[in-house]
Amino acid sequence: MAKVLVVTSGKGGVGKTTSTAALGAALAQGGENVVVVDFDVGLRNLDLIMGAERRVVYDLINVVQGDAKLNQALIRDKRIENLSLLPASQTRDKDALTPEGVERVIGELREKFDWVICDSPAGIEKGALLAMRHADMAVVVTNPEVSSVRDSDRIIGMLDSKTVKAENGERMEKHLLLTRYDPGRAARNEMLKTEDVLEILSIPLLGIIPESEEVLRASNLGAPVTLNSPTSAPARAYFDAARRLKGEKVEIVVPMQRGGLMSKLFGRRVA
Amino acid sequence: MNLLALFRKKPSAPIARERLQVLLAHERGAHGQSELLAKLQEEILAVIAKHIKVSRDQVQVKLDRNEDIATLEIDIEMPDLSPLAAARH
């Protein structure tokens, strides 16, 4: 059975697109058949992060409006054959996305893939609501910072009320992905700790992605970090998160760059 | 007193945590409440509209919360009642 997953946050710039690409690639690297779908109409970026920006011909809106077939719009990754991208439109406005059209496309994607990962736009408007609408589960991307936590709380409320699952009285499965985490600063009480964010948002933890230069390096090169530097700390954290998404029990640690004293101090169990 | 303490900044994360807890306790209530009120207004309007022709802004629902009691105030502005008699037949 296909799983539809929305990667959302409310706040912009916390790492939704990076995480969509990294989780999608990590699942595909583990043998799953994955599509990542960009819902950020007008401000698409998943194509760029995936390194497919020059291969976009048709997009989600073309498929929603029936101007292109799904197969014409899907872009297969050049590095992993079981990873595809459905890009957003860069020129149209978000009103071109209709609820009926999105429902139909998600239904078609469910038949083709094991995982349909929807990269939500920031905000709580129509685009974000459509991205979450048909999801079976949600990854809430949060930075350990007050405005991000507040917006995540708001988004969690919407996941529990504005999705098809919620309207049918079912429980939406929600997971917290804490990104840009700096264990050193958290230990010095300069940054919210994992426990603080978990206590405030009270949803289960999917993973902790440490702040790392490898993330920017990967996006500079147009490759998900799990592909570009699979042994780096953020990549290992994404691999672990992907295994947890599949239901595996994996102990949560904050991976650190290997070998240093810091990794001995902070590479310990946290939750 | 430790001299170093003069130069060390006070840890800010516990303050962030406390501010968030206070704020979200308030906001969660407010969002839940406004949705409840919107739903109440919608359903009351539907019931009244079955019998009387009223517009959306003629039905107001307000929730006031004091320390001990909360009151729900439903204000329905009635139109001229003659169409009501007409509607019955």
> What pLDDT, in 10s, does the model give residues A41-81?
999 999 999 999 999 999 999 999 999 999 999 999 999 99
8-state DSSP, A171: P
**Contact at CB, B16 and A146, closer than 8 angstroms:** yes
In degrees and rounded to multiples of 5, residue A123 shows phi and psi of 95, -175
CA end-to-end distance (rounded Å), chain A? 30
Regions of chain A with pLDDT less than 50: 263, 268, 271
Contact A176, A209 (CB under 8 A): no
CA dist A42 and A93 (Å) reads 6
Q: Do the Cβ atoms of B13 and A146 come within 8 Å?
A: no
What was the pLDDT predicted at B62? 78
Spans of chain B below 50 pLDDT:
89
Residues of chain B found within 8 Å of residue A190, distances taken between Cβ atoms? 11-13
Burial of B74 (0-12, 13-18, 19+ CB in 10 A): exposed
Residues from chain B contacting residue A150 (CB–CB below 8 Å)? 20, 23-24, 27
C-beta contacts of A186-190 below 8 A and 24+ residues apart: A186/A144, A186/B13, A187/A265, A187/A266, A188/B11, A189/B11, A189/B12, A189/B13, A189/B14, A190/B11, A190/B12, A190/B13
Supply the ipTM of this predicted assembly: 0.80
pTM: 0.81
Residues 6+ apart with CB under 8 A from A188: B11
pLDDT value for B81 = 66
Calculate what percentage of chain A has a pLDDT beyond 90.
Answer: 89
Residues of B in contact with A191 (CB under 8 A): 13
Per residue in A13-27, pLDDT (tens digit) is 999 999 999 999 999
Tell me how many degrees the CA angle B11-B14-B18 measures, rounded to the nearest 5.
Answer: 145
